[in-house]
Chains A and B, each alone.
Chain A
Amino acid sequence: MTQAAVQVLNLVRSYEGKRVLDGLSLDIRPGEFVALLGRSGSGKSTLLRALAGLDHDVTGSGEVHVPEKVSVVFQDSRLLPWKHVLDNVVLGLSAPDPKALGRKALAEVGLTGRETAWPNELSGGEQQRVALARSLVHDPELLLADEPFGALDALTRIRMHDLLRRLCDLHKPAVLLVTHDVDEAIELADRIVILEQGRLLTEKTVPLAKGERTQLRLDLLGHLGIGAEQVAL
C-alpha cells in the first residue's frame, strides 16, 4: 500500500444520538487535491473537523491518520481583530525568523505592503488571503479547507480559485476542500468525493477534457439530487 497522506478507516461519529459519519473510509495521497461535496448535513464538516482534531466531546470509533503538519482554512477568515495582519500570519509559528516567513507568505497571496493593516481594514477577499497565508506559512502536508470561499462574491471567488491552485502547485500539500459548489470542485480538485448520510456515495476523478467535465458536472449534480432538467448548461 502506498504511503497515503490521509487515511480514514471506518470512521463513525455520532452527535446527540444521530450518526453523522457512518463507517466512512477515505485515503488522500500526498499532494492530491480532493474536493468533498455533499448536501447540508451529509457529514462533510464533521469529517473535516475529525481530521483537524477539533471534535472534542464527540463519540465515535474508527481510525484517522493525518500528517504531522496540518493547516485549516475556515469559512470565515478567523483573523484576530486585535493583531496586525503580519502578526496574524505568524501566530503560533516557531521558526528562526517568523516575520520574514510571514512577509514571504503575504507576498505569495499578493498582500505585500499590508503587513501593519488591521484585519478590519481589509476586504473579505483580502482577509481570506491572509488566512491562506497563515495556513501556508506552516508549510502544511495537509490543508483542510471548510468552504473557504463561501462568503465571497463571484469575481473574488474566481481570483481565489486561481490563487489557491497556484499556491497548491507551489507547496504541494494534500488538500481536502469542503464545498457546496460543484463547479468549484471541478475547477480545483483532482478527485471529487460525494458524501451522503455519513457514507461515501461516490467518487470521481476529474478529467482534463472540457466535454468530459460537462458530463461530470451533470453526474455530480445528479448525485446531489438535482436532475438534468433543472441544470442550466
Chain B
Amino acid sequence: MTEDPPQTAVKAGPSAPTHRRLSLKRGRAYGWVLGPVLLLAFWSLGASLGWIDSRILPAPWVAVTTGVRLIAEGRLLPNALVSAQRAGTGLCCGILAGLGLALYSGLTRTGGYLIDGLVQIKRSIPIFALMPFFMLWFGIGETMKATVIAVAVFYPVYIHTHNALRSIDLRYVELAETLRLSYAQFLRHIVLPGALPGFLLGLRFAIVGAWLSVIVVEQTNATRGIGYMVNLAINYAQTDVMLVGLVLYAALGVASDCSVRLLQGRLLSWQRTLAG
C-alpha cells in the first residue's frame, strides 16, 4: 500500500511546516556492499601503485591466482574439505547437545536446577583455555578437535534456546490452559515455534564459533586442513597462501551464515510481515 502524500505536504511552506527528519532514510538494496567494495578498491590501488609491500600483504588478485594454482596442484580442495568436515561434525554434535540439554533444562525445573547453573559457570571459562585439558583427555587427534568445536557450538545454541524457552509469553501459556491443550500439543503449537527464533539466533552464533575453533584446533598437530595449510605457509613465509587461507575462511563463514539466514527466512516467514 503506497499512498501518495498530499500535495500540500510536499511544499514546505509556512502553512505546512515539515519537521527535520530524524529517522534514517529508506535503505537501498545491497547498500552493505559499499564498505567491502571501497576497501577492495583501496587495497587494489595500493597494491598496483606499490604503496603496499607484497611481502606484507599481497594484492587482492593474488588470492585468486594463487587459489587457482593451489587447486591445480590439488592442495586446496582436500584441505578445505577436511576443514569443512571438522566444522560440520562439531556443529552437528554441538547442536544436538545444545538443543537437547536446553530442552531438558528449559522445560523442566529439575533439568534447570541440574544443568543451567553448570552451564553458566562453565560459560565464563573460555573454551580455548580448556584445550590443554582436552588434549590430556582426548589426545591430540580428531576426537579432541571435534570436541573443542562441539563445545564451542554448544554454548550459543544452549543459551539462546534455553532463554527462548524460558521467555515464552505467559499469556500464551494461559491461552493453552483455557484451550485445554495437552502437554504435547502445548509443546508442539506454542513452546517449540515460540522458541524457534531463539534457536536460530543461537545457530548463527554457533556457526561463527565453529569456524573460529576450526582455525584454532588446526594450529595444533593438524596434518590436513586449511589451518594446516596456512601454518605451513607461515613457516615458508608464503604470504600469498596465507591470504588464500584467509579468503577461504571468510567465504566458508559467509556461506554458512547465509544458509542459516535463508533457513530463518523460510521458517520464520510469519515475522517477515513486520520487517517488510
Contacts and interface: CB of A to CB of B under 8 A. Distances in A.
Interface of A: 52-54, 70-72, 74, 76, 78, 80-83, 91-92, 118, 120-121, 138
Nearest to B193: A82
Given A53-B177, A54-B174, A76-B171, A92 B185 contact: yes
B15 interface: no
A83 B193 CA distance: 9
B190 A80 contact: yes
Nearest to A69: B180
Interface in B236-276: 268, 270-271, 273-274
Nearest to B180: A92
Interface string B181-197: 10001000110011010
Nearest to A75: B171
Contact of A70 (B176, B178, B181, B268): B178
Nearest to A131: B175
23 contacts: A52-B178, A53-B178, A71-B178, A72-B178, A74-B171, A74-B174, A74-B175, A76-B171, A78-B172, A78-B174, A80-B172, A80-B189, A80-B190, A81-B271, A82-B193, A82-B270, A83-B193, A91-B181, A92-B179, A92-B189, A118-B270, A120-B270, A120-B273
A26 B181 CA distance: 28
Nearest to B190: A80
A72 B173 CA distance: 13
A185 B189 CA distance: 35
A115 to B, nearest CB: 15
Nearest to B197: A82
Nearest to A117: B273
Interface of B: 171-172, 174-181, 185, 189-190, 193-194, 196, 268, 270-271, 273-274
Given A92-B181, A118-B270, A120-B273, A78 B175 contact: yes
A82 B191 CA distance: 11
Contacts of A71: 178
Given A92-B185, A120-B270, A120-B273, A54 B171 contact: no
A78 B171 CA distance: 7
A45 B190 CA distance: 24
B118 to A, nearest CB: 28
A80 B179 contact: no
Contact of B273 (A53, A72, A83, A121): A121
Contacts of A70: 178
Nearest to A56: B177
Nearest to B178: A72
B174 A91 contact: no
B273 A54 contact: no
A165 B47 CA distance: 78
B177 A54 contact: yes
Closest 5 CB pairs of A and B: A92-B179, A72-B178, A82-B193, A92-B181, A82-B270
A37 B213 CA distance: 63
Contacts of A82: 193-194, 196, 268, 270
Contacts of A120: 270, 273-274
A76 B196 CA distance: 23
A177 B270 CA distance: 32
A201 B181 CA distance: 36
A130 to B, nearest CB: 13
Given A54-B177, A82-B270, 10 more contacts: A72-B178, A78-B174, A82-B196, A83-B193, A83-B270, A91-B189, A92-B176, A92-B181, A92-B189, A120-B274
B177 A91 contact: no
Contact of A91 (B179, B268, B270): B179
